């Protein structure tokens, strides 16, 4: 009982970012980010063709989490999973066309979550941030799915000054 209370408090104090990348090495590219995602929450990549890579970032070093990457929306069909083992980030690369992702805490005891994760689809949260290769970030939570799709297309080879004014206004300083 005490462990679950401590775990709940630790989770409330810190959460992981899930980042989608257009290139397969989780660095130096454009993409989307779901910020401060709690365990057992699905994050949608919000891109019909999927992403080349998905990264789990800002993992507290004292957490041992299992990062899950899926090739369908709603965290349904698992492609691969990796343990963090004290690392602050985990990259799932290899151009696997990832479409959703989530994480859970590692347990030596096989949990119900692990046994049932592919059994039914889940609602996914959508990314709240788009980032460019130059590091510029934009708040996208107020955009429609079509606007996000257009923004992703523009972001692939863009800098901030290349973007239309409607998207430039969303820049996070």
What separation in angstroms does the CA of 135 have from each of 32, 33, 82, 128, 172?
Answer: 12, 12, 26, 15, 11
**pLDDT tier for residue 11 given thresholds of 50, 70 and 90:** very low
- Higher-scoring residue by pLDDT: 11, 134: 134
User: Residue 120: what pLDDT?
Assistant: 53
pTM for the whole thing? 0.85
The pLDDT score that the predictor gives to residue 14 is: 78
Residues 83, 67: Cα–Cα separation, whole Å: 6
User: CA torsion sign, 144 to 36 to 69 to 92?
Assistant: positive
Phi/psi at 138 (5° precision): -135, 140
More confident residue, 6 or 53: 53
3-state secondary structure of 19: strand
Q: What is the pLDDT of residues 64-110, one digit of tens each?
A: 999 999 999 899 999 999 999 999 999 999 888 999 999 999 986 65
pLDDT of 9 > 90? The answer is no
Q: Which of 102, 26, 89 is nearest to 61 (CA)?
A: 89
pLDDT digits (tens, 9 = 90+) for 123-148: 789 999 999 999 999 999 999 999 99
Q: CB-side exposure of 19: number of CA atoms within 13 Å? A: 27
d(CA 37, CA 45) in angstroms, rounded, equals: 13
Check: CB of residue 76 under 8 Å from CB of residue 101: no
13-27 average pLDDT score: 90
Confidence tier at 62 by pLDDT (50, 70, 90): very high
| Residue 118: pLDDT over 70 | no
Q: How many residues does the chain have?
A: 173
pLDDT for 44: 96
Angstrom CA distances, 58 to 32, 52, 63, 68, stand at 15, 20, 11, 16
Q: pLDDT band for position 121 (50/70/90)? A: low
User: What does the pLDDT average to over 4-23?
Assistant: 71
User: How many Cα atoms sit within 13 Å of 67 on the Cβ side?
Assistant: 30
Percent of the chain with pLDDT over 70: 84
Q: Mean pLDDT, to the nearest integer, of 152-166?
A: 93
Q: Which residue has the tokens 């004292």?
A: 62
């Amino acid at each position: 009982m005490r462990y679950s209370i401590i775990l709940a408090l630790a989770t409330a104090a810190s959460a992981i970012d899930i980042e989608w990348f257009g290139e397969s090495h989780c660095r130096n590219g454009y993409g989307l980010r779901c910020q401060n995602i709690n365990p057992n929450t699905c994050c949608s990549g919000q891109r019909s063709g999927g992403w080349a890579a998905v990264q789990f970032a800002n993992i507290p070093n004292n957490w041992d989490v299992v990062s899950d990457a899926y090739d369908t929306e709603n965290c349904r069909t698992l492609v691969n999973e990796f343990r963090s083992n004290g690392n602050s980030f985990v990259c799932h690369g290899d151009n696997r066309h990832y479409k959703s992702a989530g994480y859970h805490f590692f347990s030596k005891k096989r949990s119900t979550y692990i046994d049932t994760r592919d059994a039914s689809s889940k609602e996914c949260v959508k990314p709240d941030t788009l980032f460019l290769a130059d590091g510029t970030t934009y708040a996208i939570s107020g955009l429609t799915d079509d606007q996000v799709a257009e923004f992703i297309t523009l972001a692939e080879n863009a800098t901030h000054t290349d973007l239309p004014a409607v998207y430039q206004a969303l820049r996070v300083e």
